[in-house]
Amino acid sequence: METTEPATLEEVRDPVGKRYWPGYKGRDGERTPMQWTNGMNAGFTTGMPWLKVPPSACERNVEAELADPSSILNFYKRLIRLRRASPALLDGDYLNIGNDPHIFAYRRRSPTQTMIIALNMSGENRSLRLDEAALENTDGASLLRVRLSNLRADEQTFDGRVLSLAPYEAVVLEVAAR
C-alpha cells in the first residue's frame, strides 16, 4: 500500500497542513484510503474520499493479498498461528544470539520447546553460527526444522550449527530432538 503526499496546497485537506504549507504538509499522507479491493475508490467508500486513491490500488490491495498464498498478509497470518501454537514463542525466555550486525537472531525457549528466529536484514547471503548458548539445554540436538520462512519450505529439516541465510530471508526454526 502506498501513501499519497499532497503535491500542491490545494490538495492538502489537513487544516494544520494548510496553515504551515509547504514546510509541513500535514498528515494527509498517513490518511490515504485503505486499499480493500481493486474496485472504485479501492473499496474504501462509495462516496468521494477525502484523499485520492493511489494508482497502485489496482494491484496492491487486501483482496489481492488474501488471494496470494505468498503475500505478506498471509505470511503474517501464518506467523500469528505459529505463535499461538508454540509454547516457546508465547512464554519462552529470550536470548539474543549471533554477532553479525546484518542478522537479527534470537532464541526463545520454554521447558518443552526451543525456537530460533533469524532475519537477514541485508541484500547479501549471510551465515549465522549457532553456538552453545543458542542451543543450551537442548541435549546437544542440532537438528533444525523450518516452522516458517519467507523463502524455505516449511517442515524442511537440516543438521548443523551454521545457518545460511539468503538476502532478506526470515526463518523460524524449531530445535528438534534426534
pTM of the full structure: 0.76
Give the residue ranges of DSSP H helices in the chain: 15-20, 62-67, 72-85, 87-91
Tens-digit pLDDT profile for the chain (178 aa)?
566 666 677 777 777 777 777 776 666 666 788 999 999 999 999 998 878 888 899 999 999 999 999 999 999 999 999 999 999 999 999 999 988 999 999 999 999 999 999 999 999 999 998 877 777 665 655 688 999 999 988 888 877 788 899 999 999 999 986 5
Give the amino acid at 157. Answer: T
Q: How far apart are CA 166 and CA 127, in angstroms?
A: 9
Helix (H, G, I), strand (E, B) or coil at 80: helix
Q: E-assigned strands of the chain? A: 93-97, 103-110, 113-120, 126-129, 143-149, 157-159, 162-165, 170-176
Which residue ranges make up each domain of the chain?
Answer: 9-67, 74-176
* Domain 74-176 bears CATH identifier 2.60.40.1180: yes
